Amino acid sequence: MLARTAAPRRFAASLLGLSIACAAAAPLAAQDRPADHVILISIDGLRPEFYLEERWPAPMIQRMAAEGTHAEKVRGVTPTVTYPSHTTMVTGALPARHGITNNRPFEEGGESGLWFMVSDSIRVPALWDAVAAKGDISAGVSWPVSARSAIDYNVPEFWSVSGREGDLTGPAAMTFALRAEVRPEGLLEEIEAESLGPFPDYYWGYNRSREDAVGDIAGHLIENYRPNLLVVHLNQTDYHQHAEGRESAEVRLGVAAVDRAVARMVEAADRAGILNRTAFVVTGDHGFVDVDTRVAPNVWLVEAGLHENRPDRGEWRAAWHPAGGSAFLRLRDPNDTEALERVRADLEALPPGVKNLFRVVEKDELVERGADPEAVLALAAEPGVYLGGATGGPAITHGSGGAHGYFPELDDVHTGFVAWGAGVSERHTVPLMHLVDVAPTIAALLDLDFEAPDGVLRAGVLLPPFGN
């Protein structure tokens, strides 16, 4: 086992149900903070109905929502995509402030497949920085934009952009790339030897067993290192909603898989003897919208001579950076007002039926929303419309499946929030939260010296005196 400052593994003798009852009865008045441990679980594509409606197979999360605090809906950030949203969860900042404005950075030479995976792109302090400053312990499993961060025990979300590492291709290359980013060195090998077995190929892509592996990794970290903050990302609900839309048997199985992983973490906290001092926060990055139409606005730029139909963009002057339910216009020369006016005029000249597929959003509104500060214009898609990055072929085609990335006030793209355990109010409902409010909630639970620049601790979420 790796050297650590946390207490060694200890198995609790009590049954899970008894431990939960003890957790509810633990006297918080004698504590200097509401919780000693917080497990933040992000369910990619979480919709509030997963815990509000019993028709969804999520008994653990539904129990947490019923017994603890839950939000009827959570409004996300602009755009409602995974990497900006996860960074907001751990910073309490909007994308324009924290710097992760899309899943992928805009690349002037064309998309290479690069994502925002390394934490040095984050421009503000994250929760794990405050944990380190306090002298506490942090851990992470598959958390976006966390590679090379201050997290003590970290198996980040990281993969080979090209799908090739030396002589390796496919899942082997992806795992090889991930191993190089795990901290401390040897942690993943320890987890394989003691808890997981050989790192599975099914970790990559559409495979619900992936969540069992994440649950095993998280359980190992809980039992062996007892982190004060553990951040975990579960993603199968996102994969299946992209493929099949909001309602399908596959999505139901995805919900069941993530719920099973959450239950495994609860059981691991019980075995470690820390359940009565642990708070669980289950939230998401976005909801989902069913798609029937796909629009490729870069095709219009090619037709206007402002972009070339080439992977490297060619001699371009303007380019749409897509995010599914939205797209953001970049200018090669930020002062190229002629290109900007040409884009505006071409959009205005589109047939009424095409113009009805989206709303044109001006710069001042993007600034107000805390969206990409480099964008000079944006398109906000109507429900059912997906905005992609293709530069060739027809601009409008049939679509299917599901998408997100829409502007956050759209009801279907709202996500959820559930808090349960130490320091959390019982049977409390918040009608509407904002994603920026997640970080200050966790900071208050752990009594961290942390300021969320754009979020607040919602009244009533935590027990008195901490929740006042």
DSSP class of 381: E
Question: Please, where are the H alpha helices in 247-404?
Answer: 249-271, 297-303, 337-348, 352-355, 363-369
- Cα 206 to Cα 401: distance, rounded to the nearest angstrom: 14
Q: What is the pLDDT of residues 59-105, one digit of tens each?
A: 999 999 999 999 999 999 999 999 999 999 999 999 999 999 999 99
**Mean pLDDT within 271-300:** 98
Phi, psi of 360 (to 5 degrees): -85, 130
Q: How far is 104 from 323, CA to CA, in rounded Å?
A: 9
pLDDT tens sequence across 116-163: 999 999 999 999 999 999 999 999 999 999 999 999 999 999 999 998
For 91-122, give one letter per residue: b (16+ CB within 10 A) or e.
Answer: bbbbbbbbbbbbbbbeeeeeeeeebbbebeeb
* Cis amide prior to 184 (ω within 30 degrees): yes
Q: Is the pLDDT of residue 168 over 50?
A: yes
Q: What is the pLDDT of residue 32?
A: 87
Comparing 16-289+410-445 with 292-399, is the CATH topology the same?
Answer: no
CA 235 and chain centroid, separation: 9
Chain segment 207-253, per-residue pLDDT in tens: 999 999 999 999 999 999 999 999 999 999 999 999 999 999 999 99
Q: What is the pLDDT, as a whole number, of residue 206?
A: 87
Measured distance CA(438)–CA(449) in Å, rounded: 15
Please give the CATH superfamily to which domain 16-289+410-445 belongs: Alkaline Phosphatase, subunit A (3.40.720.10)
CA distances for 110 relative to 84, 113, 119, 321, angstroms: 21, 9, 23, 10
Percent pLDDT > 70 in the chain is: 93
Q: What is the mean pLDDT of the chain?
A: 94
Across 343-363, average pLDDT: 98
Is the predicted pLDDT of residue 24 greater than 70, yes or no? no
Band (pLDDT 50/70/90 cuts) for residue 3 is low
CB 119 within 8 A of CB 148: yes
pLDDT for res 205: 86
Local confidence band at 466 (pLDDT 50, 70, 90 cut-offs): confident
**If you write DSSP's letter for every residue of 3-54 in order, what string do you get?**
--SSPPP----S-HHHHHHHHHH---TT-SSS-SEEEEEEETT--THHHH-T
| pLDDT computed for residue 468 by the predictor | 62
Grouping H, G, I as helix, E, B as strand and the rest as coil, residue 434 is strand
**What average pLDDT does this structure show over 349-362?**
98
Torsion, CA 42, CA 455, CA 290, CA 174, rounded to 10:
-40
Give the bridge partners for 164, in sequence order.
Answer: 169
As a whole number of angstroms, the distance between CA 303 and CA 393 comes to 11
List the chain domain ranges. Answer: 16-289+410-445, 292-399
- CATH fold of 292-399: Gyrase A; domain 2 (3.30.1360)
Separation between Cα atoms, residue 349 and residue 103, nearest integer Å: 31
Radius of gyration of the chain, Cα coordinates, nearest whole angstrom: 22
Is the pLDDT reported for residue 28 higher than 80? no
464, pLDDT greater than 50: yes
Dist CA 189 CA 155 (whole Å)? 11
Preceding peptide of 465 cis, ω within 30°: yes
